[in-house]
Amino acid sequence: MKGELIKARVSEQLKSAIAARAKQRGEAEAVIIREALATYIQRDAEQIQVQPDCRRYRESRRDPKRPDRGGRAVDLELHTLSNVLRHAVSHGHLLTNPLATGRPKFAAKTIRHCRDTAPLHAEELHALAAHLFAQRRSEILGWQLLIEAMTGCRTSEVLRLRTDAQRPRDPGYVEGEWLWLHRAKNGVNPFALVHPALRACLDALHRWRLLRKISAPWYFPSPTRPGSPVAITSLTQALRTAGPLVVGRHLTSHGLRSYYVTVRRSQSISDAQIAAEIGDKSGAAIIVSTYGSIPPNWRGEKEITWLPAPPTPPAWECFAIPDNSIPLPTAQEHA
């Protein structure tokens, strides 16, 4: 989406430059390039110098003070800009694309995939959840962490889950082995598999809500904004602190999606089926290239799971949930 918005904005710059100043081809070419680059660089178009400013832009984007820094982001944005300029060349608005060669490029081998920011095993996963459960304000993030790891869903997908869902296709409705979702990024298969570990987690979440007397309809209600789910960046920010503290590594919420993939691979599920389960329309290829890591049992070690091995209890056992709590509603009870 961001790339499309950038492309649309640059296209507007191209059109306005052509309409206003395209009296002579050489003058129009210089103006178009400067106008396009001005979309990315906070300077007047008349001051733009193509190659030097591309390098300066790259360095500014990698400034540690910027929250959205990253070589890969720079590479994608300059690639988008290059495509726009190439489009202008193909339509006769430019003679050449100055970004076709010589622009800073990001080395693909240095890309950090989400599998590099995932928990290694269930003990780490539940240690992280227990860390978040230790404080009342972050309890809900512990549940979010577990549900994301057990469904492979994106954060934007789980935050739409509601406890008052009444029918199939309503995000949050549980129907037999399926938890209905609204997929992000045009994803496929609007449901997650309710396996035994997820069923136990959902049941414990429901009991915890009764214990805390939570009336908000969201699975993960915000503790500070009544009527709204938690902020989409809350779990990522929490993991930024909890990861190094609990497991000694940088972890991300998207790494939980990778954790689901690795568990399913360890269970000998095909990459194509796993891609379908997490709603990714790219198919098996993205499981191999991005999400999937080599499960421990493929190397002769123990199988990776969602629940810690006995005698270690699941993280939610830290709550004193009454034995007479009402279990998670079924599809029949909804009806």
Higher pLDDT, 82 or 121: 121
pLDDT tens readout for residues 154-173: 999 999 999 999 999 999 99
Model pTM above 0.75: no
3-class SS at 179?
Answer: strand
The answer to whether 257 and 153 are in contact (CB under 8 A) is yes
Based on C-alpha coordinates, what's the Rg of the chain?
Answer: 24
CB under 8 A, 24+ apart: contacts of 231-234:
232/155, 232/156, 232/159, 234/141, 234/144
Q: Which two tokens stand for residue 167?
A: 């029918």
* Helices 71-90 and 2-21, packing angle to 10 deg: 40
Distance (Å, rounded) from C-alpha 209 to C-alpha 160? Answer: 17
Q: Which two tokens stand for residue 227?
A: 């009527």
3-class SS at 221?
Answer: strand
* Helices 234-242 and 253-266, packing angle to 10 deg: 80
Q: Which two tokens stand for residue 101?
A: 């060669």
pLDDT tens readout for residues 282-294: 888 888 878 878 8
Domain 114-334, CATH 3.30.1160.10 — does that match?
A: no
Tell me the sheet residues that pair with 174. 179
pLDDT at 216 over 60: yes
Residue 16 pLDDT: 52
Residue 101 pLDDT: 75
Domain assignments of the chain as residue spans, ordered by start: 2-110, 114-334
Residue 110 pLDDT: 63
pLDDT tens readout for residues 65-103: 655 555 566 666 667 677 766 766 776 666 677 777 776
Average pLDDT estimate for 141-145:
98
Average pLDDT estimate for 128-132:
97
